[in-house]
Structure 1
Amino acid sequence: MIETMLMISLIIFGVAIAITLIRVVIGPSLPDRVISLDMIGVQIVSSLAIISIILKTQAFLEVILVLAILAFISTIAFSKHIERGVIIERKRDS
């Protein structure tokens, strides 16, 4: 019963990722695309967690953690780029 529910949830996450990917492609503005990319990252992390439960292993936990951190950092970098146009500021002393 639980395995069936987990498989159904994986299918639903797959559909959600496909719909979100469509939003990335046809998003009306750049902030919409950034939010969609962040949402895809969260959905992939959730899918990996479900796969880890199905396979009864803890091998994916490090991958989940690294992927979540990379998704968060990339969202911050995209947001800063949209706001200022520069991701890393270098202050030069004259």
Structure 2
Amino acid sequence: MNLFLNIVFIIAIVGMAIAMGIASYRIIRGPTLHDKIVALDAFGVMLMATIGIFSVLLDTSYLIVVIMLIGMLGAIGTIAMAKFLEKGWVIDIDRDSDE
């Protein structure tokens, strides 16, 4: 790769590191649980983007599986937390109800 492309990748990685630091602060110090969940979801997306940048830099396609796994776990986690905030539980154990 040429020098210009390497500089662009370095700037992208530094930018993602700064954004992940800000999201980490919001995860730890968020005023409400909703803010923490949104920041955690954004952190997952930024982590996927950072791994994608490293995948291009290393010229490998094996990291796409890791990106997909993080995406699936992030989506399932966000849905589970949203259901917990709405109803107070994630999995309904009562199977005898008519609903």
TM-score range, shorter chain: over 0.9
Can you give the 5+ residue segments of structure 1 that lack an aligned partner in the other structure? none
Question: Secondary structure in 2 aligned to 1:38?
Answer: helix
Question: How many Å separate the matches in 1 of 2:95 and 2:87?
Answer: 18
Instruction: Give how far 1:3 is off.
Output: 1.5
2:42 pairs with one of 14, 28, 39: 39
Pick the structure with greater CA Rg: 2
Question: How many Å separate the matches in 2 of 1:92 and 1:54?
Answer: 50
2:25 matched to which residue of 1?
Answer: 22
2:87 pairs with one of 67, 84, 88: 84
Task: Give the partner amino acid of 1:85.
Answer: G
RMSD over aligned Cα atoms: 1.1
Q: Structure 2-normalised TM-score?
A: 0.90
1:49 pairs with one of 49, 52, 77: 52
Instruction: Report sequence identity in percent.
Output: 32
Query: Over residues 56-83 of structure 1, what are the superposed CA-to-partner deviations in whole Å (9 max), with x where a residue is unaligned?
Result: 1101001100111101110111111111
1:60 matched to which residue of 2?
Answer: 63
- After the TM superposition, which parts of structure 1 deviate over 6 Å for at least 4 consecutive aligned residues? none
- Number of positions where the alignment pairs a residue of Structure 1 with one of Structure 2: 94
